[in-house]
């Protein structure tokens, strides 16, 4: 498998368990709890309005497009809609991990469990 960017890795991590669309991926990354120092000096958690890593929606869309082009993600169209033949699929479709990604993930999990 080719090397992944940080954002591509985040996208793959989000879609490993089930299909996700761009909006769900963004919301999941944008609402992850991040450490925050409270007024009383205790460390708590807060939900930030932006992603912890400062990832823009456009960066996620570009990562999805790149992963689909490299066949690391599989595009799932809504059966009620006509298939999309342009880049709007990034904004309208759902995505699942491709075979290569699933095999590597499965292998890494079995390697980890055998330790």
The partner residues of 43 in beta bridges, in order of sequence, read 37
Q: Is 74 helix (H, G, I), strand (E, B) or coil?
A: strand
Given a cut of 80, whether residue 39 has pLDDT beyond it is no
CATH number at residue 108: 1.10.10.10
Residue 1 belongs to some domain of the structure: no
- Domain extent, residue 20, equals 6-113
Q: Which residue has the higher pLDDT, 82 or 45?
A: 82
What confidence tens digit (pLDDT) does each residue in 74-115 have?
999 887 877 777 888 899 899 999 998 888 767 766 654 555
The number of folded domains in the chain is 1
- CA 101, CA 72: separation in Å to the nearest integer? 6
């Amino acid at each position: 498998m080719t090397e992944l960017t940080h954002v591509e890795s985040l996208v793959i991590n989000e879609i490993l368990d089930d299909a996700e669309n761009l909006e769900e991926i963004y919301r999941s990354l944008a609402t992850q709890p991040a450490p925050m120092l409270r007024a009383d000096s205790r460390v708590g958690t807060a939900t930030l309005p932006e992603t912890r890593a400062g990832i823009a929606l456009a960066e996620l869309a570009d990562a999805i497009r790149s992963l689909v082009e490299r066949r690391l993600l599989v595009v799932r169209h809504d059966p009620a809609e006509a298939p999309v033949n342009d880049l709007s699929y990034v904004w309208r479709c759902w995505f699942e991990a491709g075979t290569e990604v699933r095999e590597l993930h499965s292998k890494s999990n079995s390697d980890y469990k055998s330790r």
